[in-house]
Structure 1
């Protein structure tokens, strides 16, 4: 997709979610793989930062949702601080969005609804993988997959108690768009105490 600078109209954007929806829609047409991929940043109990790629699975005015094993490294780090940040980068569009804020758990109903929408193999994997913990060898993982496949051969596969979702409730959302000579456009939306959004243009 052509990177048309004229299509980025920050002046008309009064709140960030509509603009994010537009940019994600553009990315779905232009990105070759996983337009909903985002870098997720957390900190461990010692304050050491950590980052990895995850997939955004939903967003609305409440925030940005992704799912994981709560016993994984990222799960434990988020549960410890209940804060996180995301960075979307769409190379084909030369655009970036950064999200920062406190985190809440999604409801059990939300987690159940997403879990049953996943491929059966992915639901088996949620049981078989002790995410982030040491793995003796690949065979041990394949053995666990086989065991849970046999266990859940008939009927529905229940969602593990330790597998659910988080929602980042953004306090700030920054939009970045490449411009010539590195004189980029940067607009940040900051949530006010009454829930409204303050929009500020930043130097590149």
Structure 2
């Protein structure tokens, strides 16, 4: 049996502090905000959390088969986490077809993760345009050059498209140098469930779950019920 086949070869006992009912915040927004802020602080102090906003996003296709990919969380408030993408990408097509979505922030070095489940809500054009204008010029050009998820023969075609749009929209140092593509937008996860996972020793991890019981934002305590799930 090879080392990669041995189930105990890469065993690591998690030494996180976990999370208890006594310390969890009153709302999923307050708890999520706390953990995100601590992940950002850790990323600035140590090299073991290189991208605290890395968000795994899962959707399903027409046959019910899941797709998961990692994006960056670019919006985060009481309405839910949000990200930007090509709306004609695979994720955009699947969101349009089903509306269902799940996402997760995972910080292995901190033995923490947050899981969000719910439906996807398209961001307003005002929100999208505001964020788009804050991106570096090169990133705005890339949004035009890449038709996300579409096949392409070799990298040369992608670089040629980048050069073409760079010439069309030269960098003059202004937020409106590059218009927002019609096929570019973003989504917010309108949550029905938010789970806080804390790794503990002996695989006795903590899983505290806020489940929606009424309409309201992530910061509306009356909209949520807290429960614990077995690991």
What range describes the TM-score normalised by the shorter chain of this pair?
A: over 0.9
1:90-136: CA deviation from partner (whole Å, max 9, x where unpaired): 01100111100011111110000000011101100111111111111
1:9: how far off? 5.0
Q: Aligned-pair distance for 1:14?
A: 1.5
8 Å contact kept, 2:100–2:118: yes
Q: What residue is the counterpart of 2:228 in the other structure? A: 201
**Structure-to-structure mapping, 1:42-81, within 5 angstroms:** 42-81=59-98
Structure 2 residue corresponding to 1:19, chosen from 31, 38, 53: 31
Moved over 6 A (4+): none
Q: 2:190 corresponds to which residue?
A: 169
Q: Which residue matches 2:129?
A: 112
Q: In 1, are the aligned partners of 2:103 and 2:116 still within 8 Å (CA)?
A: yes
**CA 1:194–1:72 in structure 2 vs 1: closer, same or farther (change >3 Å)?**
closer
Report whether the alignment pairs 1:159 with 2:171.
no
CA distance in 1, matches of 2:55, 2:116: 10
In structure 1, how many angstroms separate the alpha carbons of the residues matched to 2:171 and 2:143? Answer: 17
Deviation at 1:203, TM superposition (A): 1.6
Q: CA deviation at 1:202?
A: 1.4
What's the counterpart of residue 189 of structure 1? 210
1:122 to 139, 158, 161: 139
Offset of 1:154 from its aligned partner?
5.6
TM-score, reference length from structure 1: 0.93
- Count of aligned positions: 201
CA distance in 2, matches of 1:82, 1:190: 19
TM-score by length of 2: 0.83
Conserved? CA contact 1:30–1:92, under 8 Å? no
Between the aligned partners of 1:81 and 1:67, the Cα distance in structure 2 is 18
User: Which range moved further: 190-199 or 34-43?
Assistant: 190-199
- Deviation of 1:29 (Å): 2.3
Inter-partner Cα distance in structure 1 for 2:30 and 2:145: 38
Give the SS at the match of 2:37: helix
When Rg is computed on C-alpha atoms for both structures, the one with the higher figure is: 2
Q: Cα–Cα, structure 1 residues 15 and 135, in superposed 2: closer, same or farther, change >3 Å?
A: same
Structure 1 unaligned residues grouped into runs of 5+ = none
Q: Which has the higher contact order (CA 8 A, sep 6+)?
A: 2
